[in-house]
Chain A
Amino acid sequence: MINRNIKAALFCGCVAFFSACKGSGYWMEQLDANPLHQSVIRIRASPICARLVPMEFTESLPIPAHGRDGGFFKLLFYRSIAPKNSSSALTPIFEGIFAANGPEKDGCIILSMGMINTASTDLSLSAYYQAKTQFYASLERVAPLYFNRTTLTPQDVKTLAEFVDLFEKAAEPGLMPNYYQLNPDFWEWVRANAGRSIPAS
């Protein structure tokens, strides 16, 4: 007869194991529930962006930006060629902007016609959605710190360091220079407070 404690340990271990092995469907649902991600889907469908950005274009991760009216977010829309490790030659790149609190700032502009290397991160589907979900959750914590420019506590610094880790895991490797250019001020603020950030370009 198995000792009751061992049974409990096995049960808890199994539960922990299975909850750690969540499928892509679970992470997709978590991502879909994130308000910032919902905003990204919203601006794609906004009248300006829907007319400008082809449906086949992919959205990048958003990053915080400052404006006269307060904080908002910026992201890129770019064409990604399906085969792995291919690059997209001279395709228009669009910049999208949105605020977390409503659609008034939703908009897209054409940024440039540049070369982008859109090599994928090579994650499994489940890991991909997990990374994105965790990044968006972290962004929700970091954005107010940047918008308000308050003095950071040790916990805030830790949050910022985690944000950099999650960004590096979820972001497209070939887009790093473009991410930096979206808002150099943000990335330098991260570097000044967390001790590290993405490379300046």
Chain B
Amino acid sequence: MRRINYFIVLLLISVSTASAEPFGKVKWTEPCTLSDISGASYKQIEAIDCDYIRVNIDGAVKQFNSEMTLDQQKELLNKWHGEAQAAYKDFVAKREAFLKEVDPKNIPEGLNHAQRLKSLMEMQNKINHSLIEIAKPFLYGEKKDATENDYILGFNGPFRNQWGPYMDPISQRAWEVNNALNAESPAARAEITAKVSSVMKTSQGAVTNWNGIDTKENMNVGAGVALSANIQPRANQFVSLSRHRLVSSPTTAKLPPPPAKPFSPAALSEADLSSRNYFSRGYAAGISRIANDAELGFLHEYGKARTIGDPIGKASVNFSQGDAPICGIAAQYEVMKSHGLPVTMKGLIIEATQKGYYKGDGTDDSRMGNLLKDHGFSENVQVAASVPGAGKAMAVKLNQALNKNGDAIVAVSTTRFWGDSSFSGDHAIYVTGAEVDKSGKVLGYYVNDSGTGEAARFVWAKDFDLAWKDTNYTLLTFNDQSKH
């Protein structure tokens, strides 16, 4: 009896121990959830730890879920926690020091408007160029297994919305500097305009010396020209200004290349269905696309429709942006790739972030062609006036661009374009071609959509118009003037 009681006590102890701690190890599931062997939640990982680990530890999840005991896992988490806290402390110190450097309140008293403007522009330049350095190593790591679709779009991507608490003070300061620039501009314009006029009259050489040379004099003069042209002053604006104001070359638009093979919409292979991501919006949407293509195949067969542009050829340049609000960058990336430029999304994101075109929350319409401009395209962003018939006029411009160059970029309403009320906001898409009838009337357009990953998606003209109308028919046309 005593032996049985002793056994029962041991059993009770082991059961009570098991209910306090899981048996064996825990499992890590994306992004940072731990669960025990029964699937119940084990513990939370702190946001700081999660962000640091995801950015800096190669193969963290795989390593954690490998053959380790619970004690070994706990030891690993403690180690990572220590590293994360140290990196975070370092980041906060760097951030606070930086914020003092770029505080408009610290501009010395007694400066004239032009000098204040120059100081503010230097601050803006610092903010644009310093974000990544400040965030290292806490949020910008050196992961070797980073991919395009990684947690932070590769180890040098823009900061994600969930990093708001860390980066918010810098973003707030950026807005303060921006607002101070806007407030300073009218007064500075009056001071600088006369000076600019005399400099430009005296020497063309002085003007051409702007190319990438940020002398103190050039910054003042450049700011003046920028203000005169009603452009938001940015340090790197000078290079753009010189390229497009001083270097005049005739427009030599490249004709779109002929399609590699005759386009037969109905002849879809499994490879086509996969590469063009027919089902990324769901089964019904995919079937609808196949039905559209079948109808177009029929129209082609009987000579009642023809394709403009090379939508199938351009399907291969499509990029999937995931949740990041980088459609403006993605659309321009696709344009550049289809025109043969050796660019990467990572590189363009870094460039757009450093130049201030992209601030982590999206692209503003007025800058949606800036990357193209910086890479050798002439570009023109147009928005329809709010007058009757404006939509038809913009459609004519879109069609002209497609006939001339084979492509364009437009902004559409996501709710209408994806047919889903849980999505909202505007979205830039790459228009790669169109279908027209015998009279030349447009039946619909082909698009690459980085938001859904769909390539060469055909959209009937009426549906396209409904989605495009909601952005006031925002249209970006461009000519490839690069030498490649």
Q: Chain A interface (Cβ within 8 Å of chain B)?
A: 24-25, 28-29, 32, 38, 41-42, 44-45, 47, 50-58, 79-84, 88-92, 103, 110, 113, 120-125, 127-129
Q: Do the beta carbons of B422 and A56 come within 8 Å of each other? A: no
A89 to B161, CA, bound (A): 6
By the criterion CB–CB under 8 Å, are B474 and A125 in contact?
A: no
CB distance from A162 to the nearest CB of B (A): 22
Known: A50-B383, A51-B366. A110 touches B415 (CB 8 A): no
Answer whether A79 and B362 are a contact pair too, CB < 8 Å, given A56-B427, A58-B424.
yes
B466, A25: Cβ atoms closer than 8 Å: yes
Contact A28 B416 (CB under 8 A): yes
Q: How many residues of B contact A (CB 8 A)?
A: 48
Docked-complex contact B425 and A41, CB < 8 angstroms: no
User: B162 near A89 (CB under 8 angstroms)?
Assistant: yes
- Chain A residues with Cβ below 8 Å from B463 are 25
Beyond A41-B386, A44-B472, whether A54 also contacts B325 by CB under 8 A is yes
Q: Tell whether, in the assembled complex, residue B165 and residue A90 are in contact, meaning their CB atoms are under 8 Å apart.
A: yes
Do B364 and A50 touch (CB < 8 A)?
Answer: yes
Closest Cβ–Cβ distance, residue B413 to chain A (whole Å): 9
Mark interface residues in B367-389 (1 if CB within 8 Å of A CB, else 0).
11000000000000001101000
Complex: A90 Cα to B416 Cα, angstroms: 27
Chain B 450-474, CB-CB to A under 8 Å as 1, else 0, gives 0000000000001100100111101
Q: Which residue of B lies closest to A85 (CB)?
A: B422
User: Does A121 lie within 8 Å of B421, measured CB to CB?
Assistant: yes
Q: A82 and B422 in contact (CB under 8 A), knowing A53-B364, A55-B365, A89-B162?
A: yes
Contact A50 B161 (CB under 8 A): no
Q: Give the contact stretch, choosing among B89-97, B129-137, B167-175.
A: B167-175
- By the criterion CB–CB under 8 Å, are A92 and B171 in contact? yes
Closest to B359 in A: A54
The interface of chain B, by Cβ under 8 A from chain A, is: 161-162, 164-165, 168, 171-172, 175, 179, 232, 323, 325, 327-328, 359, 361-368, 383-384, 386, 411, 414-416, 419-428, 462-463, 466, 469-472, 474
Contact present for B165 and A91 (CB under 8 Å): no
Please, which residues of chain A bring their CB within 8 A of the CB of B363?
Answer: 54-56
A residues near B384, Cβ cutoff 8 Å: 45
Q: CA of A50 to CA of B161 in the docked complex: distance in angstroms?
A: 21
- B328 (CB) vs chain A CBs: closest residue: A55
Chain B positions within 8 Å of A121 at CB level: 421
Q: Let me know if B425 and A125 touch, CB within 8 A.
A: no
Q: Which of A83, A113, A122, A123 has the most CB of B within 10 A?
A: A113
Supply 20 further A-B pairs (C-beta < 8 A) apart from A56-B362, A90-B164.
Answer: A25-B466, A28-B416, A32-B466, A32-B469, A45-B383, A45-B471, A50-B364, A52-B364, A53-B364, A54-B362, A54-B363, A54-B364, A55-B368, A57-B426, A82-B422, A84-B422, A89-B162, A91-B161, A125-B415, A125-B419
